[in-house]
Structure 1
Amino acid sequence: MDAPVPPSAAPADPSAHRYDVAVIGGGVVGHGIAWEIRRSGRSVALIDDAPGSGASWAAAGMLAPVSELHYQEEALLALMLEAARLWPGFAAGLDGGTGAGQEGAGGTGYLTTPTLAVGADAADRRALADLRAVQQACGLAVEPLTVREARAREPLLSPGISCALDIPADHQVDPRRLLARIGALLRADGRFEAVPRRAAGLLWDGGRVAGAGLEGGGEIRADETVVANGLGAAELQGLPGGLALPLRPVYGDILRLRVPPRLRPLLRSTVRGLVRGVPVYIVPREDGTVVIGATQREDAPTQSGAVSAGGVYQLLRDAQQLLPAVAELELLEATARARPGTPDNAPLLGRVGRGGTGQDIEGLIIATGFFRHGVLLTPVAAAVCRELLDGPPDPRWAAFRPDRFSARRDSAQDFSPKDRTTA
């Protein structure tokens, strides 16, 4: 498999330069933001000592606003639908205007192939029917198929599945190809700098954020700083005092398997299944591999990235029940990463208020807490950050403000920086 996106050569003394924007975090969201900011004509420094090696490296890349609609998370739907609307243009811009189709995706691996939701037994069928009622109430297209119709589209599906639903609006992208493509385009740009260091904290100049200090010494000065380093955001020094970024690690195991030539194509659609109430997904790639995932655990003692043996067993067992040919595939890779979750499972996206003043702290944008939606939400996160650089926030996304969990947001007490470092 491809290695994580390598950083480009950084300048001998990055602090000798001042940038329009510093982006802390080199995952798919950070890369997407950096790309959008460069397209706006601004200079960018991307700060990360291991770009593309975190949650983005393990992501399956499903662009699934319909399938990912969960009970009591309806507020996220508008943001996910906006992201889905932006994805074709976002991918086309990265792929040189070629876009993508049913076959032959461009450099990002963006594919508009549909998704099938399938259930293993009668209880799964009822659960998917209940979810479909919620999806339809939200105006989303989810159409039932007979088992025969589903197997005509995907002949290797088990004849024992209990139901199938067609979700034409849910697509996919290959996150590793996406990261490599954005990284290559940015490294070829003379106004972009990759800084292969870990950010230690925010720099302040008076009452505004003025860049980032680096671990081991040094700093990156910038007019605007975007904090997009996932779980690491809450650990930065110099965050505004009183700002709560309640991020929690949610681990997921993911498998990559090679399909032997005699079984290709294994699938033409992404399959999202329920097996005795437990979700599993099977995502086909153009290179003859598939990705299997959906485990979710919050009890891991460390962020070591250790793969759960039980998780691997569960994924292979459930995927094989929906697609028996999984037993004949070659296991290439088992990976686990922690995704940044929030109390309401919605992102922390926007500027931070200066308590009680009705104004925002200048020079600071937060973009983290994307949980299982990071790849899907990358284009809209990038667009929101660019719009914030240009002017006032879009009121549609006020529900995702990063200071919504902060007790002092509406008080007269200012968010003075804690552990302040002066630029």
Structure 2
Amino acid sequence: MLTRPDVAVVGAGPVGLAIAWRCAARGLRVVVHDPAPGSGASHVAAGMLSPVAEAYFGEHELTGLLAESAARWPGFAAELAEAAGTDLGYRTEGTLVVGLTGDDLAEAGRLWSYQQGLGLPITPLRPSQLREREPALAPRVRGGAVAPGDHQVDPRRLVAALRTAAEQAGAVLVPGAVARLADVDARVTVVAAGCGAAALTGLPVRPVKGQVLRLRAPGGAAPELRYVIRGYADGESVYLVPRTDGEVVVGATVEERADTEVTAGAVLRLLRAAVDLVPDLAEYELAEASAGLRPGTPDNAPILGALPGRPGVLAATGHHRHGVVLTPVTADLITELVVTGVADPLLAPFTPARFTGRDGDGRAPAVEARRPRPDRSASEEERTWS
């Protein structure tokens, strides 16, 4: 006899897998639908956990959610690493924000003043202080700031770990695409499909193209960089994310396009800005150039919560460039909504109702939590729920 799942998650990126893991750990029967888990925006993401450096003018509520999720990351990373038995590439050295020219520094300074006005931890530094922290920075760099609480994680390792943890907790991955939500049979359906959420739900989620490069240090050595660098170089914005395995991620363009072609112009701009800030990168191997599609929304904030007029359907999408940093808080809030049927107040500014034109009370059908079922193999789960 077939058993109906409690929760179906559509989308196996970090957000979808984290929700599946949390729900399965609460004892719910969970299936995850995705034809190619981890192949979306997270595959080309840099993995910056930057509630401070990503705080922009007019996005007060989003900044609050970023800060809340970043505060959950240390515990989330430790729990996930233990559950999956793997290293996530989680690092806590902090982030340096730098300006190459006087104009670049002035532009960055306006943003620092705004961030400091919000009480966020960012401290301006003189050029000599910057180079004490990062000797590889170019002598031309005019100044910068340090955001000690802005960390990083490797998104590809994160996805692999989340998949392992979710499956070990009892979730089952179904390797197929979902064309219509009517084809999904579960008590609660969570749409965490990134850009694909638009076709499934009608929500205003659009693709925002980003091109990213991966460089590799000569001889397989660790990069000289210690900090994540977010820089302004002759008007070009760029970030540099060093990994301990010798990789440096360089990104990223922001383009209102829906293709995933890598262009020579984007590679040129990113490399020029990166080498202007850290000249030694000119000697690194260009190991990969890739492009992905971020799920953007009209107000740049995620869409989280019950979909008005669609009983049993929850949205967890539209994270734009913040999907990785918002993974812990999204998973916690959506899981609580699934289990209790009551929305946490943190969800209020981000509900689908702000775009649908239909009021909703934020509630969802509660799914009774069960104790985790030990020692059921994946094949047994597949036979039960497929």
TM-score w.r.t. structure 2 length?
0.89
Q: Which amino acid aligns with 2:32?
A: L
Question: Partners in 2 of 1:107 and 1:182 — Cα distance?
Answer: 11
Aligned counterpart for 1:394 among listed residues 339, 344, 361? 344
Is 1:343 aligned with 2:298?
A: yes
TM-aligned CA distance change 1:331 to 1:17, over 3 Å: farther
* 1:346–1:370 contact (8 Å) kept in structure 2: yes
Aligned position for 2:188: 224
Q: How far did 1:94 drift?
A: 0.8
Runs of 4+ more than 6 Å apart: none
More helix by share: 2
Alpha carbons 1:79, 1:397 under 8 Å: kept: no
Match of 1:94 in 2: 80
Unaligned runs of 5+ in 1: 1-14, 100-105, 204-212, 214-219, 355-360, 411-423
1:150 aligns to what? 130
CA positional deviation for 1:37 = 1.1
**1: CA distance, partners of 2:10 / 2:306:** 15
- Does structure 1 conserve the Cα–Cα contact (< 8 Å) formed by 2:83 and 2:165? no
Q: Which amino acid aligns with 2:36?
A: A
Which of the residues 57, 63, 87 maps onto 2:43?
A: 57
Amino acid at match of 1:395: P
Letter of the aligned partner of 1:88 in structure 2?
P
Q: Aligned partners of 1:271, 1:280: CA distance in 2, in Å? A: 8
Runs of 5+ unmatched residues, structure 2: 361-386
Give the paired residue count: 360
CA-CA distance at 1:188 after TM superposition: 3.2
Match runs of 1:140-179 below 5 Å: 140-179=120-159
Match of 2:119 in 1: 139
Please give the secondary structure, in 1, of the residue aligned with 2:62. Answer: helix
1:223-302 matched pairs, under 5 angstroms: 223-236=187-200, 239=201, 244-261=202-219, 264-298=222-256, 300=257, 302=258
Residue range with higher mean Cα deviation, 251-260 or 71-80:
71-80
Equivalent residue for 2:34? 48
| Alpha-carbon shift at residue 263 of structure 1 (Å) | 6.6
How far off its partner does 1:186 sit? 2.5
Instruction: Report the RMSD for the aligned CA atoms in angstroms.
Output: 2.0
Q: Partner residue of 2:372?
A: none
**Structure with higher strand content:** 1
Q: What corresponds to 1:415 in structure 2?
A: none
Task: Find out whether 1:30 has 2:16 as its counterpart.
Answer: yes
CA distance in 2, matches of 1:24, 1:409: 24
Contact 1:17/1:221, CA 8 A, preserved across alignment: no
Which SS does the other structure have where 1:287 is aligned?
coil
Match of 1:19 in 2: 5
Q: How far apart, in 2, do the equivalents of 1:281 and 1:403 lie?
A: 34
Structure 2 SS opposite 1:96: helix
SS of 2:353's equivalent in the other structure is: coil
**For the residues of structure 2 that align with 1:263 and 1:34, how far apart are their CA atoms?**
37
Normalising by structure 1, we get a TM-score of 0.82
1:22, 1:124 → 2: CA distance?
47
Of 183, 187, 192, the match for 2:163: 183
Q: Distance in 1 between matches of 2:313 and 2:103?
A: 48
